[in-house]
Amino acid sequence: MRVLGVDPGTLNMGYGVIEEKGGSSLMMITCGVISAPQKMPIEERLCVLHEGLTKVISEYRPEVVALEEPFVAGNARSALAIGRAQAVAILAAAQARLPVFRYMPTQVKQLVTSYGRSSKDQVQQVVKLQLGVTDLPEASDAADALAVAICHLNQKHLDDILKRGY
């Protein structure tokens, strides 16, 4: 299964595509950041992000999209901005007829590291181990998107186990 993980933002939208082979082996296909200039009006930034994500979907052909839900601790302005970016990602996925799964940051940490309060560094270390890579991209948005994609596959495995009754 090929999964596109997305870490939404209105300036930088991280993405990471991973593929699971044989039920347990994970391989990073690509990752990166789609950026829009801060001085650009929000409607133009959202177009840039949408076009960039549409290209990623078209080129790498994921089967599902996994998004990180915003955590904004009482900052309504941040919540609105991230919500806009999340809507752009959902729209790009819907246009490609891809199912979308959403995960809270604590879920991502729990499903990637087995601890919902893991540090960003701990999450990145586990992502490197699971993908079998020595380095992750310097952009934390791309590394976070890879974690969201891994989170989705781990959740899918848990769901499959529960369906079988184990």
Write down the domain spans for the chain: 2-164
> In this predicted structure, what is the pLDDT of residue 87?
96
pLDDT tens for 18-54 read 999 876 789 999 999 999 999 999 999 999 999 999 9
- pLDDT < 50 positions in the chain: none
Quick one: 2-164 is in which CATH superfamily? Answer: Ribonuclease H-like superfamily/Ribonuclease H (3.30.420.10)
d(CA 107, CA 9): 19
> What residues act catalytically?
7, 68, 141
Question: pLDDT value at position 73?
Answer: 66
Alpha-carbon distance values, 76 to 13, 38, 73, 80 (Å): 19, 19, 8, 6
pLDDT of residue 164: 84
For position 16, what pLDDT does the model report? 97
d(CA 48, CA 36): 6
Q: What is the pLDDT of residue 32?
A: 96
